[in-house]
Amino acid sequence: MPQPIRKLDQRSDGVDDDHLSLRDFQRIADLIGEEVGIKLPPAKRLMVEGRLRKRVRALGLRGLDAYSVHLFQRDGLAAELPHLIDAVTTNKTDFFREPEHFDLLEHRLVPALLDLRRGERQPLLKIWSAASSTGAEAYTLAMVLADLAAQRHDFRFAILGTDISNTVLRQGVRAVYPTELVAPVPPAKQQRYLMHARRPGTRPEVRIVPELRRLVRFAHLNLMDAAYPFDRDVDVIFLRNVLIYFEKADQERVIRRLIDHLRPGGYLILGHSESMIGTAVAMRQIAPSVFQKT
């Protein structure tokens, strides 16, 4: 008879001890809810366990129970929290994700914003990717705006990407991506803005050209913070695919704080699945999931 397959973390006596107790899971869920705003209902326990096992191995711990002790020991939390945040956040992103927003930016929002600033010579448009993950959204914005600026010659732009995870922010600064991730970038933009790495034996990668990297800055920001230390004359804020992880009250607080950073006439863009959240605050909806500060 074939032997049943035993997972590596399963004890030989058949008792699988590499789990978080319900109590430890709840402590972690409460901590993440408070610090990051992300909801972790009991149904997420398996996912959290799976992601934390990598951390258990990196720390050389015996299992998830030992991890909980490590996390909640005196002085343990401050050092471990950034890793825990990396483990529980979902960083999925893409170049040209939800592409209608970039078309709208190019054809409608930028012309309208420049119209409002008619008297100024080459105004500086400020764009903020407020949950930037590894930077695919920020560099998509940079590609679209660089092409437009080269056609119109009547504006400059600067892009800020912020996120709570230092790991993804470092990737944004490095600006190196697996080739398959840039597949949605139109060929002409690929030619202008991507450099191909030629390192034998490694998976094919591309890097964003320095001229574009210079226009994008990354900084750490927890959207749960009571105040955001950034400019208050931003033209467009992209806040896509992050609110879904937050409680309703936090969603509205985050939106209100971000609106304070928009100049009048500026735009807030949410993910398509988050459009309804935007309708709770007093802004003019101009397209699905796109709102204008009046």
Ligand X SMILES: C[S@@+](CC[C@H](N)C(=O)[O-])C[C@H]1O[C@@H](n2cnc3c(N)ncnc32)[C@H](O)[C@@H]1O
Residues labelled as active-site residues: 51, 163
Residues that bind ligand X (rule: CB under 6 A) add up to a total of: 25
Residue 38 in the binding site for ligand X (CB under 6 A):
yes
Residue 167 in the binding site for ligand X (CB under 6 A):
no
DSSP 224: T
Please select the residue that binds ligand X; options are 92, 170, 214, 232, rule is CB under 6 A. Answer: 92
Please select the residue that binds ligand X; options are 68, 133, 171, 289, rule is CB under 6 A. Answer: 133
Q: How far is the CB of 51 from ligand X (least distance, A)?
A: 13
- Residue 134 CA to residue 164 CA, distance in Å, equals 11
Contact between 36 and 242 under an 8 Å Cβ cutoff? The reply is no
Residue 223 in the binding site for ligand X (CB under 6 A):
yes
DSSP 243: G
Q: How far is the CB of 162 from ligand X (least distance, A)?
A: 7
Q: How far is the CB of 168 from ligand X (least distance, A)?
A: 5
Q: Which residues contact 150 (CB under 8 A, 6 or more apart)?
A: none
Cβ closest to ligand X, residue 266 vs residue 271: 271
Please select the residue that binds ligand X; options are 242, 255, 283, 290, rule is CB under 6 A. Answer: 242
Please select the residue that binds ligand X; options are 89, 171, 251, 289, rule is CB under 6 A. Answer: 89
DSSP 246: B
Contact between 257 and 266 under an 8 Å Cβ cutoff? The reply is no
Q: How far is the CB of 129 from ligand X (least distance, A)?
A: 6
Placement of tokens 């936090």 in the chain: 250
User: CA torsion angle for 108, 109, 110, 113 (degrees, to 10)?
Assistant: 120
Q: How far is the CB of 165 from ligand X (least distance, A)?
A: 4
Contact between 132 and 172 under an 8 Å Cβ cutoff? The reply is yes
Residue 165 in the binding site for ligand X (CB under 6 A):
yes
Residue 140 in the binding site for ligand X (CB under 6 A):
no
- Residue 262 CA to residue 21 CA, distance in Å, equals 44
Residue 36 in the binding site for ligand X (CB under 6 A):
yes
DSSP 68: H
Residue 93 in the binding site for ligand X (CB under 6 A):
yes
Please select the residue that binds ligand X; options are 181, 219, 224, 281, rule is CB under 6 A. Answer: 224
Residue 84 in the binding site for ligand X (CB under 6 A):
no
Strand-by-strand arrangement of the 176-178 sheet: 176-178, 205-208, 194-196
